[in-house]
Structure 1
Amino acid sequence: MCALQSVRAQREYFVSTLAGGTAEKYESLLDYLLSWDILNWEEYEHVTVLGQPLAKLVRELLDIIACKGEKGCGLFLKALHKIDEEPHDEGLQKQTPKEFSESKYLQSERPRVIRIIHQHIDDILHFLLEKDYVSKFEVDMIKLPVFSPAQKARRLLDLLRVKGNDSARCLLAFIQQLEQGIPQVPYACLRYQKKLKTTISAQSQFLSTYDGTENICLENIYTNSILEISKSTKMSDNIQDSQNPLDLTDIFNADGLINKNADTVLILGDAGSGKSTLLQKIHHLWAEGNAFHKFAFIFPFSCRRLGCVVKPVSLMSLLFEYCCWPDQLQEEIFQFILANPNQVLLTFDGFDEFKFAFTDDKKHCSPTDLNSIDSIVFNLLQGNLMKDSIKVLTSRPDAVTAIMRTYIQKEIHLKGFSEEGIELFMKKHHTNPDTSRTIIDCVKANSSLHGLCHIPVFCWIVSKCHEELIRSSCSHLQTITDTYVLALQHFLRHASPTENITENVLEKKKPSINHLGKLALNGLCHGLYVFSHDQVVEAQLNKEDLSLGFLVPSKNFSTHGTLSSQHYEFLHITFQCLFAALYIAMSDDVEVCSLKYLFRWSRIPKQNSSSGILSFMCAQPFLQKANKKIFKRIKVQNLQITANFVSGLFSERLYNLLVKSWQSQKLSRKQDTIKKCLSKAIHKHFKSIPPAVQGEIKSMHAMPEFIWLIKCINEMQNVQLSRKAVKNLNVDHLKLTYCRIGPAECTALANVLKHLKNPTGLQLDDNSIGDIGLEQLIPCLHICKALYLRNNSITDKGICKLLDQALHWENFQKIALFNNQLTDECMDSFAQLLRHKQNFLALRLGNNFITGVGAQRLAEGLRENQSIQYLGLWGNKVGDVGSQAIAEALQHNRSLIWLSLEENQLNDDDVTLLAEALKKNSSLKVLKLSNNLIGKNGVSALTNTLQHNATVKSIWLKGTNLTPEEMQIYTVSDHRLLLQ
C-alpha cells in the first residue's frame, strides 16, 4: 500500500491516536512537518488555532497532508514513527550552515531545539529580554501557566520567526552555551554574576609589578610557566606526554587525580614561581568570558587577607563581604550557590601565608552559622562546606601537611619558566629588541644567573636592574643573595637619583634598612605578612623608609579611606626574608649564639598563633629576652629562605660590603659561626647514614633539608667550606630523588659536589632539572660514575651539551634518562659517546620519543662499542627500521648482556631479524620484547634460535598475540620464554 492510500485508509486511526490524549504528540508531529517543509507557515497556523478541538485540528491536518501527494504522506508517516522513537540528539552545529539563515536554521532544527530549550525556557526568556529581543508583554504571554514547557518553547520559536535573524542568532548562541556545559544562571543571579565579573576583571586586568611602581596589562606581559602533575601521583610508566605540556585548562580535567572524592586542587610552587599571577590569569580569563565557562561564579581569596580576619564569619559573609556584595536578592543568590556547588570555583592564594595550622578536628557544616575564619576555610577544603565546588589552593610545598593531602583531589607543580619562557619574558618587558637581546645574552653568559632566572621573581629583578647588569656584564652575580642585593642597591639608588653611582647607598640608608629589617623579622616570627598603619608607625618607619619602595600598600586591602586604615606588605615574601636577614647580619641586638637555630638539621616547626598580633612590636624586649629562640618561631619555609640570605650576606664579596657599610662589632664572629654551623649540620647528616648492607654499595638518600644546607653553603661562595662539607662523605651512591631540585639547586649541588674525592653515582630522578639545570650540573659530573635523571623534562638540547663534555670524563659509565623529552636529534651524540668511551656500561632511554631513525643512529655507535652491557629503549617507536639496525649491531657487539625493546611496535618480521642476530651473538643474556605486535611466527623464530644459543637466560614476551594454547606449547618447549 502506498503512503497516500495508507493515510486515507487509516484516517480514523490517526485521529484517535493524535487526538486521544494530550496535545504534545500532535504538536511534536507538527514540529517535524514544519522542519521538513511539508507544512508552510500559513498551513501551520491553520492547524494550531487555540481553542479549537484537537480532533478537528487533526482532521484538517490530514486533509492538508493528503493534498501533498505521495512524498508528503510518506514524510507524515515517517514523522509519526519519529515521535514514538527515543530521540538521539547530537546537538546543533557550532556554525549555521551557509545555505540557511539563522531563522531558517532554527526552523529546520525545530524538534531538536525544543528538546534542548524547554527545560531552560525561563532563563532564555530573561536572557532575550535583557538583550531587548522580546518585550515584557511577550514574555508574560509565553509564560502563561496553561502552557507546558515544550509549548512555551514552541511559542517562543514562533515569535522569533517574525523577529528576524538577530534574535535567532542570539538564541543559537545561548543553545551553544547549554551544549558546552556552560551553566545557565537564573535571572535573579545574572546581575550579580555581571557585577562579580566586572569586579574581578578590574582586579585582574593589570599585573602590578613587585615594587608597585607600574601597572602592566596582564594580557601583554603574562608568560606561561611550566605546569606538571605531581610525579608522586603518576604511575612510573604512565606519565603525561612531555611534548604536550599542561595549560591552565588542564588544571580542572581528570588527569592525575589523587582522590576522586575530594574537590580541592593544590598548586605547589617555590617562592616567586608565579602562583599568584597564575591565579590572576585564571580569574581574568573567566571574567572576560574567554575560558572556564563551566563556572557560574568564581570567588578569589588571599590567605594573607583572610589571616587578618578577626571577627566570626559564615560561608555567606565570606563569599559576599570578602569578595563581592550582591546589590539585591542576597538570599536567593546564596541559595543558588548552595544548590549548584559544581558551578562554583573558590581560589585561595598563598596558603603557606595563612597563619593557622590545618586541622580536620573541628567540623562545621552550616553555611549560615558563624565560626572562626580558619574553621570556615578548613571545612571548605575538606568538603564539609560547599561539597562538589572546586577549590584551588596555591602554596609553597613545605606548608602542606600529610593530613591536608588526604583532602586533595589533584596536585600540580608550578616549575617556573622554561629557557624559551625566560627569553619571552624579557622580550615582553622590554619592547626595544636591542635591549631585550642584550639582557638575554647577558643572562646566558652567566650560567649561575641563567639557572636562577627560571624563577619568575628573579627574571623580574634582572629585568628591573638591567642597566646595572649590562654595565657589570653580570660577572659578579653568582648566587640568589647577589641578585637580591643588586635589587636592593637599585631601589636605594632609585630613591636618591642625584647620588653618585659609586656612592655606598647601603651605608647612607642604614637607618631605613634597620627599620625595615626589624619589621620584617618580627613579622616572620609572628606569621605576619600584612602590616597595619599602626604597626608600621610602632616599628618607627617614616615616610623616607616607605618611599624606598620595599614596603608597599597591600593589594589585598582597599587603598581607599583614611591613612590610618592603610595596610602594607613587602614587595614579595622573599624581600621580607631578605630584610630579616639584613637585620640579623647588621644588628648587634641579634646575638651570635642565636644563629645556630637558623641551621638546625632536625626541627619540628611551631605554628604561629594569632595571640601575638596586637602587641608584636615590642621588638627590643623581644630580642633581648628571647634572642636564642626567635628563629624557632619562624615558619620553616621562611626560615630557610632567610638562612639562605644570611649565608649569602657573609660571602666574601658581600661581607666586605657589609663591613664597609655598617661596621658592626659582631660581623666577623657571625661569619665564623655561620661557617661552623653549616659544616656541623652537614656532617651531622652524613653521620646519620646507616652502614652499607653486606654485598651492597653504600648509599645515602638525602632529604630536602640536605639540599637547603647545600644551597646555604653555595651562597657563602667559600671553596674551603665547600671542600670541608663533603670531605667525609664516603658513599658510592648519592640519592636525591623527589627533592624539588631545579636549576638553582643544581648550581649549588655542582659547586659543592665537585669537591668529592671518589667517583660517586648521582641519582636525581623525579625532580625539575630541565636543560638549564643539566647545564649547571656539568662542573661536578666529572666525578660522577653513574647519573640517573628520570622524569626531569630534559630535551635534546640539554643532553647534547652534557654528552659533548662526557666524552672527556673518565669515571662516567652509566646514564638513565627514561621519561624525558628526547628525540632522534640527540641520538648522534649518544652514538658518539659509545664510539669514544670503551668503558661505558649502561644507557637507558625508555619512554622518550625515539623512532627508527634515531635507533639507526644509535645502532652505529653500538656496533663500534665493546663495553656497554645494558641498553634500554622501551616505550619508544623504534619500529621496523630501528629494530633491523639494532639486530645488525648485535651481530658485531660482544659486550651487551641486557636489551629492552618493549613497547616499540615490533612485529614478527622484526623479531625474526633479532632472532637471526642472536645466532651470531654470544653475550646477550636478557632480551625484553613484551607488549609488541608479536605473533606465532616471531615466537617460533626465537624458539628456533634458543636451540642454538645457550647464553640467553630469558626472553620476555608478555602481551603477545598468541592464543592460550600456543602460549602453553611455547612455554613448555623452552622455559627461557617468559610469556606470562
Structure 2
Amino acid sequence: MEKQGHREMEGGLSESHSHVRLLKVNRELLVTHIRNVQCLVDNLLHNDYFSAEDAEIVCACPTQPDKVRKILDLVQSKGEEVSEFFLYVLQQLADAYVDLRPWLLEISFSPSQLIQNKTIVNTDPVSRYTQKLRHQLGCDSKFMLCYAQKEELLLEETYTDTIMELVSFSNEILGSLSSLACLLDPSSDVLNEHGETVFVFGDAGVGKSMLLQRLQSLWASGRLGAEIKFFFHFRCRIFSCFKDSDTLSLQDLLFKHFCYPEQDPEEVFAFLLRFPQAALFTFDGLDELHSDFDLSRVPDTCCPREPAHPLVLLANLLSGRLLQGARKLLTARTGVEVPRHLLRKKVLLRGFSPIHLRAYARRMFPERAAQAHLLQQLEANPNLCSLCAVPLFCWIIFRCFQYFHSAFEGSPQRPDCAVTLTDVFLLVTEVHLNRTQPRSLVQRNTRSTAETFRAGLRTLRALGQVARSGMEQSLFVFCQDDVEASGLQEADLALGFLRTTPALGPCGGQSYEFFHITLQAFFTAFFLVVDDKVGTQELLRFFREWTPPGEGAAASCLPSLLPFQRWRGGRPAGSDLFKNKDHFQFTNLFLCGLLSKARQELLRHLVPAAALRRKRHALWTHLCTSMRSYLKSLPRLHSGGFKQVQAMPTFLWMLRCIYETQSQKVARLAARGVCADYLKLTFCNACSADCSALSYVLHHLHKSLALDLDNNNLNDYGVRELQPCLSRLVVLRLSVNQITDNGVKVLCEELTKYKILTYLGYAFLGTLGQ
C-alpha cells in the first residue's frame, strides 16, 4: 500500500472533496443499500487493496449490515485511493448497486484516471445471469434453425427483413415499421397505453419465428435494448406438454425450464420482481397451444412465488398480473384474436415484398451468375415468385433451385406448367430422400422420382403416422414413445424432417417436432393418401373445418385468451380455447395436390389403383359439393345494380384447394357455383399466390364480374397472376395492396385490350395509378 501513502503525501484532497469523508458522512445510507458484499470484496482483492485476511474478517461478520460496516472501516483505514476505488466499483456495477444510482449522480462522482485504469471484476449474480442469457441466446440464434435441421446457414448472413405493418384493433393498416427496434419501442405507435404485449401475427411460414430468432441474436450481441437485462423465449406449444396436475412457480419456469443462474438465483429473481421493466418475454405460436386444462379452476390472481399450473403463469404474464411492466412479444397465425386490453401494439407480418425477395436472393446466392439466373427464372414465372413471397416456401424453393432450374431451362418465357405448393413439398421430400443415397464423386444420382419415393416409402409412412397422430389431436411435439411406435429409425431422423426439441416440461426426456407445421400437414396428407386402410370418412375428416358463413368469422378466430377470469361454470364441452385451423386447411390443400391427376404417375407406384380411384372420387365430389353449398349460403346484398356477396377466408382456402388439383374440370364446376356478380374479398389477407387460385377459377366464368380485393397483401406478382381473368371483370378494386408502378403498368396494358372495365379502384397504388 505504499503507493497510497505516496499519493496522499504529495497532494492530498481537501476535506470537502475527500472520498474517505464521503464514506463517513454517508455511512448509514451505504449500509442500508449495499446488498452485494461479495462483489466488493472480489474487486478489492483483485486489485490488491484487500489481503486474504481482510476478506476473511469481512466474511466472519454474522449479518449483511455488519459485513458492509466492516468493509467501510477497512476501506477508510486504507486511505483516499481505496475509498475512491470503492466508489468506482459502486458506479461501474450499476446492476449490483442499483439503489445507489441516484446518490452517485447527486454527488457527481468522477473517478481519476488512475482509478479508471483499474480492472473491475463483475461477479454480481444479476450481471452474470445476463451474460449467461446472452451467451445462450447467441448460440441458439447463430444458425437458421427454424427451417433447417442442421447448422447450415448463419442467421447473420441470411436473415432478410419482411413487411411489417402496424394495424388497428380492427386490422386497418396504420403504417409500416422500418426496423425491429421500432417493434419494441414502448413509446411509439401505441394502441393501448395500459397494454404490455406486442402482438405479431401472420400466415404460416411468413417469418414469425425467424423474427424472434433475429431479436434474440440482436439482444445477445448487445445491439438491441440496452435497458433490457433479461430475455426469456418460450414456444407456446411447450405449455401443452404439462399435465393438468403439474404446478411450478414462476421462478422455476424461468430458471429450471429456460436458463438457470450460476449463483444466487434468489437474488436474481428478487431483482426481476423489483425491476420487471428490465425483462423481455417472447412467446412464439399462441395458435399452437392446445390443452384440456380446466380453465374454470384458474385463480383470479397469481403470486410469483406460489406454484401454479404453467398455463396459469402464461395467462397471468400476458395479462400483467405477474411482472407488470415487463415487455411481452406474442406471435400467432392469422385468425387468432387476443383481448384488446392486453395489447400495446398489433403488427401484421406480410412476408417478402419484391424488393425483399431480391435482397434475400442476393444473400442466399452470393455468386452473381447464380443470382442473376435465379431472378430471371422467378421473373419468368410469377406463380413461383408468388410462392416465394412466403419466406418458408421461398427458402424451400431456393434450396431446390437447381431442380427448378433444370425444369425451366431454355424457357425465357413464362412456363406453361404451374408450380403448386404440393410440387414444392414433394420436391423438398425427394431432395432429402436422395441425400441418404451413397454416391461417388463422379456419378450423380440418376434415380427417378418414383424410384426415390418407392425406396423411401417405409420412412414416409412412418413420418405420416406420427404427423397424423399429432394432427388429430392438434399436437405438434412428440415424445420418444410416439416416434418409436411409428417405426421410425435413427437413420430416418437423420433426414431432417423431424428435429429434436429442448428438453422442456416436467417429464424431461427426448421430444421431437416437424421443422414446420406445414410439413406436418404435408405428411399427414401423404399418409391419408398412401395408406390403403384409410377410408373415405377418415380421408375427409379435416374438411369439417370448412365452416359455413356466419360461423366463419368466429370459427377462424381464437376466443378471448383469458375468458376464465370471468367464467365460473366451466367451459363448453369440446371447446378448445387455443385452437387455430390452418394446420387442418394445409392438410386439405395437400390432399388435393397429392390426389391431382398430375400426381397419379407417382402414386400408382405407392398406392393400389382401386384405393386411389376411390379416394380421388370421394375428394372431388366433396370438393365441388362444398364449394357450391358455401357459395349458395353466402348472404347477398343488392347494391348499385349488383348482387354482392362478401366471402370469408374459408373461400380462399377452397380456391387454394381447387388450384392444387390443377383440374380444369373442377375449376369449371366451381365457376358455375359463382351466382353473384359482385365478389368481395376484402380484409381476407389474400396474398399474391391466392391470385393464381382466384384467376384459375374465375377465368372459366361465362359472365362479367365485379371483384373487390381491397386491403389485402397483393403485389406486382399478384397482378400478373390475375391476367387470365381480367377479360371477365367490369369492376376491379385493388386499393391498399403492395402494388407498385410495375403492377400498374401490367394492369393498364391488359385492361386496354378488353375495354369492358367500368371502374378501377386504385388508392395507394404506384404513381402511374394515381
What is the TM-score normalised by the length of structure 2?
0.79
The equivalent position to 1:514 in structure 2, one of 449, 456, 461, is: 461
- 1:52, distance to aligned residue in structure 2 (A): 14
Does 2:329 correspond to 1:392? Answer: yes
Instruction: Pick the aligned partner of 1:551 from 485, 498, 502.
Output: 498
For the residues of structure 2 that align with 1:51 and 1:506, how far apart are their CA atoms?
79
Matched, 1:262 2:195: yes
Which residue of 552, 567, 574 maps to 2:518? Answer: 574
**2:503 touches 2:509 (CA, 8 Å); kept in 1?**
no
Q: 3-state SS of the aligned residue for 1:300?
A: strand
Q: Distance in 1 between matches of 2:381 and 2:222?
A: 42
Corresponding position of 2:533: 589
Structure 2 counterparts to residues 821-860 of structure 1, below 5 A:
822-823=766-767, 826=768, 845=770
Q: Is 1:501 aligned to residue 501 of structure 2?
A: no
Equivalent pair of 1:524/1:634 in contact (CA under 8 Å):
no
1:737 maps to: 682
Give the CA deviation at 1:759.
1.8
Change (3 A) 1:46 1:550: closer
Please list the CA deviations of residues 146-197 of structure 1 after superposition, one character each: whole Å capped at 9, or x if unmatched: xx98886698846425546x67xx99xxxxxxxxxxxxx9944111111111
Q: Which amino acid aligns with 2:424?
A: T
- Aligned residues of 1:521 and 1:579 also touching (Cα < 8 A): yes
Change beyond 3 A, Cα 1:690–1:570: closer
- Matched-pair contact (CA < 8 Å) for 1:592–1:666: no
Aligned to 1:414: 349
Distance of aligned partners of 1:129 and 1:518 in 2 relative to their CA distance in 1, 3 Å threshold: same
Shifted more, 780-789 versus 274-283: the winner is: 780-789
Change beyond 3 A, Cα 1:126–1:199 = farther
CA distance in 1, matches of 2:692, 2:672: 19
Aligned twin of 2:306:
369
Q: Which residue among 78, 97, 112 is the counterpart of 1:160?
A: 112
Letter of the structure 2 residue corresponding to residue 275 of structure 1: K
Shift in Å, 1:347 = 0.5
SS at match of 2:722: helix
Q: Which moved more, 1:599-608 or 1:795-804?
A: 599-608
Change (3 A) 1:519 1:49: closer
In 1, Cα distance between the equivalents of 2:150 and 2:735? 43
Residue 165 of structure 2 corresponds to residue 228 of structure 1: yes
C-alpha deviations, 1:644-665, integer Å up to 9, x for none?
0001111211133212333353
User: Residue 295 of structure 1 contacts residue 345 of structure 1 at CA under 8 Å; is this kept in 2?
Assistant: yes
Q: Which residue of 2 aligns with 1:527?
A: 474
**Correspondence 1:119-158 to 2 at 5 A:** 137=75, 157=109
1:686 maps to a residue whose letter is L
Contact preservation (8 Å) 2:704, 2:730? yes
CA distance in 1, matches of 2:266, 2:472: 41
The residue that corresponds to 2:486 in the other structure is: 539
CA 1:642–1:814 in 2, change beyond 3 Å: closer, same or farther?
A: same
Deviates more, 1:590-599 or 1:781-790: 590-599
Matched, 1:459 2:394: yes
Residue 964 of structure 1: aligned partner:
none
Report the equivalent of 1:379.
Answer: 316
Tell me the SS of whatever aligns to 1:324: coil
Matched residue, 2:753: 808
The structure-2 alpha-carbon separation of the partners of 1:527 and 1:607, relative to structure 1 and needing over 3 Å to count, comes to: farther
CA distance in 2, matches of 1:301, 1:478: 36
Note the 1:332-343 alignment, pairs <5 A: 332-343=267-278
Q: Name the structure 1 match of 2:53.
A: none
Counterpart for residue 55 of structure 2: none
Task: Please state how far the C-alpha of 1:793 moved relative to its aligned partner.
Answer: 2.3
Of 457, 465, 472, which aligns to 2:407?
Answer: 472
Matching of residues 91-110 of structure 1 within 5 Å: none
In structure 1, the partner of 2:28 is: none
| TM-score normalised per structure 1 | 0.63
Q: Please give the per-residue CA displacement for 1:448-496, whole angstroms capped at 9, x wherever unaligned.
A: 1111001111111112212211111185552111111111111112222
Task: Give, in whole Å, the separation in 2 of the partners of 1:318 and 1:229.
Answer: 32
Q: Pick the structure with greater CA Rg.
A: 1
Q: Please give the secondary structure, in 2, of the residue aligned with 1:312.
A: coil
**Counterpart secondary structure, 2:16:** coil
Q: Residues 850-900 of structure 1, C-alpha deviation per residue, up to 9 Å, x if partnerless?
A: xxxxxxxxxxxxxxxxxxxxxxxxxxxxxxxxxxxxxxxxxxxxxxxxxxx
Verify: 1:217 aligned to 2:154, yes or no. yes
Q: Report if the CA contact (8 A) 2:634-2:647 is conserved.
A: no
Q: CA deviation at 1:685?
A: 1.7
Letter in 2 for 1:495: T
Q: CA contact under 8 A between 1:588 and 1:665: conserved in structure 2?
A: no
Amino acid at match of 1:469: F
Shift of 1:318: 0.9
For residue 703 of structure 1, report the CA deviation from its aligned partner.
0.5
- Contact 1:726-1:755 within 8 A present in 2 as well: yes
SS of the residue corresponding to residue 295 of structure 1 reads coil
1:694 and 1:232 map into 2 onto residues whose CA distance is 28
For the residue of structure 2 that corresponds to 1:409, the secondary structure is strand
Find the partner of 2:258 among 307, 313, 323.
323
Aligned match of 1:637 in 561, 565, 582? 582
Residues 356, 607 of structure 1: 8 Å contact kept: no
**Kindly, what percent of the aligned residue pairs are identical?**
29
Corresponding residue number in structure 2 for 1:246: 178
The alpha-carbon deviation at position 352 of structure 1 amounts to 1.7
Q: 1:769 to 1:130 in 2, by over 3 A?
A: farther
Partner amino acid, structure 2, of 1:472: A
TM-superposed CA distance for 1:274, in Å, is: 1.3
AA of the residue aligned to 2:273: L
Give the residue type in structure 2 aligned to 1:436.
Answer: Q
Mean alpha-carbon deviation: is it higher for 599-608 or for 471-480? 599-608
1:678 aligns with 2:610: no
C-alpha distance in structure 2 between counterparts of 1:731 and 1:158, whole Å: 78
Correspondence 1:548-947 to 2 at 5 A: 548-554=495-501, 556-557=502-503, 565-600=509-544, 601-602=546-547, 636-693=581-638, 696-820=641-765, 822-823=766-767, 826=768, 845=770
Name stretches of at least 5 consecutive residues in structure 1 with no aligned partner.
1-41, 54-118, 172-184, 609-628, 831-844, 846-980
- Alignment pair present for 1:301 and 2:234: yes
Deviation, 1:120, is: 11
User: Is contact 1:234–1:256 with CA below 8 Å preserved after alignment?
Assistant: no
Counterpart contact for 1:209–1:215, Cα < 8 Å = no
- How far apart, CA to CA, are the structure 1 residues paired with 2:606 and 2:365? 33
**Structure 2 counterpart of 1:206:** 143
Q: What is the CA-CA distance between 1:313 and the residue it aligns to?
A: 1.6
Count the aligned residue pairs. 668
SS at match of 1:666: helix
| 1:364 and 1:376 in contact (8 A); partners too | no
Cα 1:731–1:276 shift into 2, 3 Å? same
Shift in alpha-carbon separation, 1:234–1:586, aligned structure 2, 3 A: closer
Q: What per-residue deviation string (whole Å, max 9, x for no partner) do you get for residues 56-110 of structure 1?
A: xxxxxxxxxxxxxxxxxxxxxxxxxxxxxxxxxxxxxxxxxxxxxxxxxxxxxxx
1:256 Cα deviation after fit: 4.3
Q: Mark the CA change 1:497 to 1:798 in structure 2 (over 3 Å): closer, same or farther.
A: farther
Determine if contact 2:635/2:646 at 8 Å carries over to the other structure.
no
Are 2:255 and 1:287 equivalent residues in the alignment? no
Measure, in 2, the Cα distance between the counterparts of 1:127 and 1:221: 46
- Is the partner of 2:547 in helix, strand or coil? coil
Structure 1 pair 327–692 and aligned structure 2 pair: CA distance change class (3 A) = closer
Would the alpha carbon gap of residues 220 and 539 (structure 1) be closer, same or farther in structure 2, given more than 3 Å must change?
Answer: same
Cα distance in structure 2, aligned partners of 1:49 and 1:277 = 54
Aligned equivalents of 2:103 and 2:309: distance in 1?
A: 50
Q: Secondary structure at the match of 1:265?
A: strand
What is the rounded CA distance, in whole Å, between the counterparts of 2:19 and 2:509 in structure 1? 69
Q: CA deviation at 1:389?
A: 1.0
The corresponding residue for 2:433 is: 492
Q: Distance in 2 between matches of 1:681 and 1:808?
A: 35
